[in-house]
């Protein structure tokens, strides 16, 4: 029973349970990398340091709402490398935010 519950609640990133539909691949700037590398985003996350000092983090997710919020929290220090659908979602949210600040 416990294993079933854990599989259901820890299969993907954040508060939204369910099977992961994709893996997010995020690159953090060298300046932000030292902070992010100490965070556990998901028990099965994959992380790698890049030669330029940036940090790439991969996490499974089923629903992008919480993930998009966490990506935006890092601003220009986080770039979505994959999947394309997540890149498009973040771009759309950023465009909408810019429209709130005309001029």
Q: What are the structure tokens assigned to 17, written together?
A: 């349970």
Dump pLDDT digits (tens) for 16-58.
567 888 999 999 999 999 999 999 999 999 999 999 999 999 9
- pTM, to two decimals: 0.82
Q: What order of strands is seen across the sheet that includes strand 22-28? A: 46-49, 55-61, 22-28, 78-82
pLDDT at 7 over 70: no
Measured CA to CA, the distance from residue 48 to residue 98 in angstroms comes to: 32
Distances (CA, A) of 28 to 18, 31, 99: 26, 8, 26
In the chain, domain spans: 2-99
3-state secondary structure of 49: strand
Q: How does the average pLDDT of the chain come out, rounded?
A: 87
Please give the torsion angle defined by the CA atoms of residues 93, 94, 99 and 102, in that order, rounded to the nearest 10 degrees: 160
């Amino acid at each position: 029973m416990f294993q079933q519950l854990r599989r259901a609640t820890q299969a993907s990133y954040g508060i939204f349970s369910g099977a992961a539909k994709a893996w997010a691949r995020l690159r953090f700037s060298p300046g932000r990398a030292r902070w992010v590398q100490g965070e556990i985003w998901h028990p099965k996350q994959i992380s790698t340091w890049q030669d330029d000092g940036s940090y790439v983090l991969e996490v499974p997710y089923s629903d992008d709402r919480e993930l998009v919020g966490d990506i935006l929290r890092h601003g220009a220090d986080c770039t979505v490398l994959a999947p394309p659908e997540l890149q498009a979602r973040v771009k759309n949210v950023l465009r909408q935010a810019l429209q709130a600040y005309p001029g």
